[in-house]
Structure formats: structure tokens, C-alpha cells
């Protein structure tokens, strides 16, 4: 089942560590925003990531045992939820936590049933993902590869932007 929403379009980026996913997404976000789209992002991180800093009040409260800590200011807010041994929520459950947006970009979540662009570099030494993932709809790489899917050069940010906009029917 491919996830789809009438109000929020979802597009993912899959690839091995070091392939350039984060850099590509960083280049694409302002392009989508310039089109007038409200863009959000979900990034699947390594098990031990932390957005908090040791010694800060919120860090101290989490380490004291609080299940959730919401930090808010006039410029931003963040909600930290400690799993404390519970299972990581499924991708679909994570989507429910987001505010409405036009375009949700997803980094990681290699196995989510969403349309994805494979970001690949030979230098990583890893195999291509798309032969084993029916949800990968195109490949972006720093060198031409043989594939039946649309191929885009990794540095062609306008081309990748246009591919995603057309694929998701955002224009």
C-alpha cells in the first residue's frame, strides 16, 4: 500500500550513508519553498541521536524520567518523547504527528511504501537499492548508470525538483 493524502504529498529519498541524501534535500527545500509550497521533513536517525544538550533544563527533565518534554519559544517549539523501551512507532504513526503541509520529504525509512528517489554514488561501495525496492521511481547519481528508471544527475537540482513536482502533480 502506498501512502497518499489529498492534502499532503509524500516523497522519499533512499540511499546508503554518504550518498548525498541530506545535501540534496538541503538544496531542494528552498526550491520547493520558492514555488509557494509548505515543506516538512521526516528524517529517520540512528538509534542514539539526541536533539537536546546535556545540562540544559529540558535534558535534565528527560533524564529525571519525564516521558515527554515540550520546549517552546516565540520562534520554535520541539516535543521530545522518550520511548523508554517501547517500540519505535511505525512510519504511518509518525505522519499523524505532523502539522499539515503541501510536501513531506522523507529521508531514510528505506522500506516505507512511498515514492522515492534513490541517491547513489559508486564511491560508497554499496549496491543499488532500486532493483529490490518497487517504490523507487527514479535514481540520482554522480555518474550515469544503466537503469530502466528515470536517471537524473545528482547535481541537477532543477531537474530533480521538476521531476518530483511532475511526479507528485504539484504544479
Residue-wise pLDDT tens digits, 95-149: 888 899 999 999 988 888 999 999 999 999 999 999 999 999 999 999 999 999 9
Residue-wise pLDDT tens digits, 5-29: 557 999 999 999 999 999 999 999 9
Q: Taking residues 45-71, what's their average pLDDT?
A: 80
Give the model's pLDDT for residue 53: 80
Give the model's pLDDT for residue 3: 53
- In the chain, what percentage of residues exceed pLDDT 90? 60
Q: Where do the domains of the chain lie, and which CATH numbers do they carry?
A: 9-49+88-168 (3.40.50.300)
Q: How far is CA 127 from CA 15, 19, 32, 39, 81, in A?
A: 10, 11, 30, 30, 35
Give the model's pLDDT for residue 73: 85
Instruction: pLDDT band for 47, please (50, 70, 90 cuts).
Output: low
DSSP 81-143: E--TTPPPPPHHHHHTTSPP-SEEEEES-TTSSS-EEEEE-GGG-PPPSGGG-TTEEEEEESS
CA distance 140 to 156: 9
Question: CB–CB of 128/145 below 8 Å?
Answer: yes
Please say whether the dihedral angle defined by the alpha carbons of residues 45, 24, 40 and 110, taken in this order, is positive or negative.
Answer: negative
Q: Taking residues 47-74, what's their average pLDDT?
A: 81
Amino acid at each position: 500500500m502506498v501512502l497518499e493524502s489529498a492534502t499532503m504529498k509524500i516523497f522519499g529519498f533512499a540511499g546508503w550513508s554518504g550518498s548525498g541524501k541530506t545535501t540534496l534535500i538541503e538544496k531542494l527545500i528552498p526550491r520547493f519553498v520558492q514555488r509557494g509550497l509548505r515543506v516538512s521533513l521526516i528524517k529517520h536517525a540512528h538509534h542514539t541521536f539526541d536533539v537536546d544538550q546535556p545540562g540544559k533544563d529540558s535534558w535534565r527533565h528527560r533524564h529525571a524520567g519525564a516521558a515527554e518534554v515540550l520546549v517552546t519559544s516565540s520562534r520554535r517549539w520541539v516535543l521530545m518523547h522518550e520511548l523508554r523501551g517501547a517500540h519505535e512507532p511505525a512510519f504511518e504513526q509518525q505522519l499523524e504527528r505532523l502539522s499539515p503541509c503541501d510536501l513531506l520529504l522523507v529521508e531514510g525509512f528505506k522500506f516505507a511504501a512511498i515514492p522515492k528517489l534513490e541517491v547513489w554514488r559508486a564511491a560508497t561501495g554499496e549496491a543499488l537499492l532500486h532493483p529490490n525496492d518497487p517504490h523507487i521511481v527514479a535514481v540520482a547519481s554522480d555518474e550515469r548508470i544503466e537503469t530502466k528508471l528515470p536517471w537524473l544527475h545528482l547535481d541537477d537540482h532543477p531537474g530533480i525538483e521538476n521531476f518530483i513536482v511532475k511526479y507528485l502533480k504539484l504544479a
